[in-house]
């Protein structure tokens, strides 16, 4: 089936990036959020990011204007029912995602494909809250979406081949690369990445190294573009903790136990860049380690 219209649930960090790339690729985009202010901020951010692409001669001004014109917003979730493809990019809490899909189902077209941008939650389980588990998939973009090349495609146990092939075609149209993952906790990227971050937090917790020395060691010793604690702040410490909890609960292996220091930072509301404090304090001109 041909996908021409895309509904995006959530106007946060991931949702606005997904809207950006779909609009640039020629899709009609309808983005929703419970907050009108969040939608306004998302549109301004998309415009700013596209303007940066124009200034770097990645795209033309005409292409930017056309892409921006393809994005519409609404605070009414059910307006997305007419779209060919819906991508849920709400907060990484299963109960929230389940409620969204249950609210959407009565308003969908028979052909609509439902997907979730979840970074760790069971696709098979989410699909059971819908009337179309065969047309339900995990569609996991990496952050920041306009920059990162990879999209993880995760089939639930009931996902049919036609749905998979349709989304494979969508990824190609976006100019990105797909990696197929089985539906096990955290899939591929986060199954490997987030335990590494958790181990870096343990290294800090146990006093093996400071924030600065841990990040410097991985950047210069393993050639990582960003240190693991800096990366955790970029992802969001609440998201890192949520993924570790999914791994720990889903695989029942103590090696996935979240570090108590990561839990403490989340309890303090120090979630990284989005709250201005995490393993670094971002309130000044340059980030300063908090430990």
- Residues 16-34 have pLDDT tens digits of 999 999 999 999 999 999 9
- Check whether 107 has a pLDDT greater than 90: yes
Active site residue 140: yes
Is 20 marked active-site?
Answer: no
Q: Domain extents for the chain?
A: 5-181, 190-282
Query: What secondary structure does DSSP assign to 37-87, as a single string?
Result: HHHHHHHHHHHHHHHHHHHTTSS-HHHHHHHHHTEEEES-GGGGGG-SEEE
Query: Residue 95: is it exposed, middle or buried by C-beta count within 10 angstroms (0-12/13-18/19+)?
Result: exposed
| 8 A C-beta contact, residue 55 and residue 68 | no
* Equal fold, 5-181 vs 190-282: no
The confidence band for 178, taking pLDDT boundaries of 50, 70 and 90, is very high
The pLDDT value given to residue 92: 85
pLDDT-derived band of residue 91, with 50, 70 and 90 as boundaries? confident
Query: Exactly one of 16, 117, 122, 152 is catalytic; which is it?
Result: 152
Average pLDDT, the chain: 96
Residue 277: DSSP 8-state:
B
Section 55-68 average pLDDT? 96
Residue 117 appears among annotated catalytic residues: no
Nearest of 178, 106, 172 to residue 138 by alpha carbon: 178
How many angstroms separate the CA atoms of 8 and 106, rounded? 17
Q: Indicate whether 62 pLDDT > 90.
A: yes
Looking at residues 282-287, what average pLDDT do you find? 96
> What CATH number belongs to 5-181?
3.40.50.720
Choosing from 116, 117, 120, 190, which is the catalytic residue? 190
Mean pLDDT along residues 63-70: 98
Interacting residues of 170 by C-beta distance below 8 A, sequence separation 6+ = 3, 85
Q: Who's near 58: CB < 8 A, 6+ residues apart?
A: none
User: Whole-prediction pTM value?
Assistant: 0.90
- Residue 125 pLDDT > 90: yes
| Fold of the 190-282 domain | 1.10.1040
Could you say which of 119, 120, 122, 198 is catalytic?
Answer: 119
Identify the pLDDT of residue 13.
87
What whole-number percentage of the chain has pLDDT above 70?
Answer: 100
Contacts of 99 (CB under 8 A, 6+ apart): none
Q: Does the pLDDT of residue 183 top 90, yes or no? A: yes
């Amino acid at each position: 089936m041909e996908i021409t219209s895309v509904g995006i649930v959530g106007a946060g960090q991931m949702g606005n990036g997904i809207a950006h790339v779909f609009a640039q690729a020629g899709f009609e985009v309808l983005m929703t959020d419970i907050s009108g202010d969040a939608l306004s901020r998302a549109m301004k951010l998309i415009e700013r990011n596209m303007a940066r692409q124009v200034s770097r001669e990645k795209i033309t001004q005409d292409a930017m204007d056309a892409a921006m014109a393809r994005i519409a917003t609404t605070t009414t979730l059910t307006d997305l029912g007419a779209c060919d493809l819906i991508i849920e990019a709400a907060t990484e809490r299963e109960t929230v995602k389940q409620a969204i899909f249950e609210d959407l189902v009565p308003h969908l077209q028979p052909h609509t494909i439902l997907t979730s941008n979840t970074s760790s939650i069971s696709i098979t389980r989410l699909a059971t809250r819908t009337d179309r588990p065969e047309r339900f998939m995990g569609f996991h973009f990496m952050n920041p979406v306009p920059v990162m090349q990879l999209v993880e495609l995760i089939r639930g146990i009931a996902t049919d081949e036609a749905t998979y092939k349709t989304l494979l075609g969508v990824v190609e149209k976006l100019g990105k690369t797909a990696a197929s993952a089985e539906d096990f906790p955290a899939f591929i990227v986060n199954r490997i990445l987030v335990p590494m971050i958790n181990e870096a937090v343990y290294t800090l917790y146990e006093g093996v190294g400071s924030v600065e020395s841990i990040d410097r060691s991985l950047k210069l010793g393993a050639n990582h573009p960003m240190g693991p604690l800096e990366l955790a702040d970029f992802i969001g410490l609440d998201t890192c903790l949520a993924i570790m909890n999914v791994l720990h609960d889903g695989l029942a292996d103590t090696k996935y136990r979240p570090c108590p220091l990561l839990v403490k930072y989340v309890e303090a509301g120090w979630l990284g860049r989005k709250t201005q404090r995490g393993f670094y304090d971002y309130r000044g001109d340059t980030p300063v380690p908090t430990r």
